[in-house]
Structure 1
Amino acid sequence: MPVARYRRIADDIRARIAHGDWAIGQALPSRRELAAAYGVNEQTMRLAYQLLRRQGVLEGEERKQVSVAHPAAVRTLTDVDANWPFSSETTDTRPRAATEELAERLGVPARAQLQHETVECLDPGGRSAMLVSTWWRGRRRAHSSFAAELETIELTEGQAHALGLLVDSLAYRVVRTRFDAHGAPTETADLILPMDRWRIRLGC
């Protein structure tokens, strides 16, 4: 069975990177330039770039300049309640009305006004490693315990944009809810961890 042309081009670009034609962090030519160099249309080059991003060879957003990816740091999450040890950026603090799911998690009426923040956790190289969106009602309170559930999701457009990945890329979603000493929920959060950058290790 013949190999699709965009896959052959992706293989060639990967070989050229290994040969040193482009260094880690260096931007590649535009899709238009490389399409002309390979004698294909831009759609074929788009598919090649998309494949290479999915494989972690290139990094960068759709329709923007891409560069040779730094080797992904694969971390292991063992404590979903631990503070992030590196730098982070708060990207959204707009209050939100509680969805039915959030209302159930926090024990509040649906549509109740919630405080909210989304934080982008950065690795030591400054690349996005995880997104944490947290919701709570009233003032933020200390907690005594927490519960967590794990599932896999496809990234939304906003999540993919923040993480530099493609829409529909797979990620872990950790739903963490914190409780006070009386067992009442104090806040709940979604931790979004790209599957190509994380392992999950469950403690006993």
Structure 2
Amino acid sequence: MRNPPSRRVADDLRRRITAGEWAPGERIPSRGQLQQEYGVGPGAAQRAVDILREEGIAVGRPRTGVVVADPVPVRTLTDPDIPWPYGRGERTLDPIAASPELAIHFAIDPGAPVLRERIDMLDPDGRPSHVAVRWTLDGTRRPWAEQRREVSGRPAARDEAVLLGTAAGAHVLVCMAVRWDRGGRVVEVVELVLPADRWRIAL
């Protein structure tokens, strides 16, 4: 099967970036320039740029356009409870229907409402690092006395991929904690969702 035009353009741009044609921080050709150079339509040109952004090869910067991204360091998570020392992006707070797993933790019926808080954690340069998610029954932060952690891996959901600036289906690491109060009641479930190409976990 032939590659679609967008993939062909993205592959060639990736090759040129790897060869050093543009250094980190330098602007790559605009959508109009890509259309002219590669003989593709505006949709294919835009999709090619989107592919590079999803892969972390390019990043958008205000008043500059899309530039070659700086190399992202690979970090190791050793203590998930340490406050994130860098920036935070968007924070959302949404009521959602409890999944069967959350329902078991909170001792509620599947589909009952729970509150999800999601915060985008940023690297020092403003790029997405990982996503922190917290589920509670009513949004109240309550003291916890005990927790159990689990580490797993899975493909990124589409909304996670958008938040992390990676491709949909890319592998992510998930560090989950279930937290109980002194009375043995679950007060919150938290997750850190980390791109597997940028993170290692050593607890």
Query: What CA distance in whole angstroms lies between the structure 2 residues aligned with 1:167 and 1:143?
Result: 34
Letter in 2 for 1:10: R
Deviation at 1:84, TM superposition (A): 1.8
1:40-119 maps to which residues of 2 (within 5 A)?
40-41=39-40, 49=49, 52-53=52-53, 56-59=56-59, 66-119=66-119
Q: Which runs of 5+ in 2 are unaligned?
A: 1-6
Q: How many residues align?
A: 190
Q: Alignment partner of 2:17: what SS?
A: helix
* Alignment match, 2:14: 10
Q: 1:97 to 1:12 in 2, by over 3 A?
A: closer
Query: What CA distance in whole angstroms lies between the structure 2 residues aligned with 1:121 and 1:5?
Result: 32
Q: Alignment partner of 1:95: what SS?
A: strand
Deviation at 1:33, TM superposition (A): 1.6
Q: Alignment partner of 1:105: what SS?
A: helix
Contact 1:10/1:48, CA 8 A, preserved across alignment = no
Query: What CA distance in whole angstroms lies between the structure 1 residues aligned with 2:84 and 2:95?
Result: 23
Deviation at 1:135, TM superposition (A): 0.7
Residue 147 (structure 1) aligned with residue 148 (structure 2): yes
Contact 2:115/2:137, CA 8 A, preserved across alignment = yes
Contact 1:5/1:44, CA 8 A, preserved across alignment = no
The C-alpha deviation readout for 1:126-179, integer Å capped at 9, x for no partner, is: 221111111111332111121121121222221111122221121112222112
Deviation at 1:45, TM superposition (A): 6.1
Query: What CA distance in whole angstroms lies between the structure 2 residues aligned with 1:84 and 1:11?
Result: 34
Using the size of structure 2 for normalisation, the TM-score is: 0.78
Q: Alignment partner of 1:111: what SS?
A: coil
Contact 1:171/1:192, CA 8 A, preserved across alignment = yes
* Alignment match, 1:136: 136
Q: Alignment partner of 2:154: what SS?
A: strand
Letter in 1 for 2:82: A
Q: 1:25 to 1:107 in 2, by over 3 A?
A: farther
* Alignment match, 1:173: 174
Using the size of structure 1 for normalisation, the TM-score is: 0.78
Deviation at 1:93, TM superposition (A): 0.7
Q: 1:9 to 1:96 in 2, by over 3 A?
A: closer
Q: Alignment partner of 1:13: what SS?
A: helix
Letter in 2 for 1:12: R
Q: Alignment partner of 2:191: what SS?
A: strand
Query: What CA distance in whole angstroms lies between the structure 1 residues aligned with 2:149 and 2:165?
Result: 26
Letter in 2 for 1:194: P
Query: What CA distance in whole angstroms lies between the structure 2 residues aligned with 1:124 and 1:10?
Result: 24
Q: 1:78 to 1:69 in 2, by over 3 A?
A: same
Deviation at 1:72, TM superposition (A): 0.4
* Alignment match, 1:123: 123
The C-alpha deviation readout for 1:78-129, integer Å capped at 9, x for no partner, is: 1123322222234211222212121112222223322221011112222211
Query: What CA distance in whole angstroms lies between the structure 2 residues aligned with 1:73 and 1:54?
Result: 17
* Alignment match, 2:26: 26
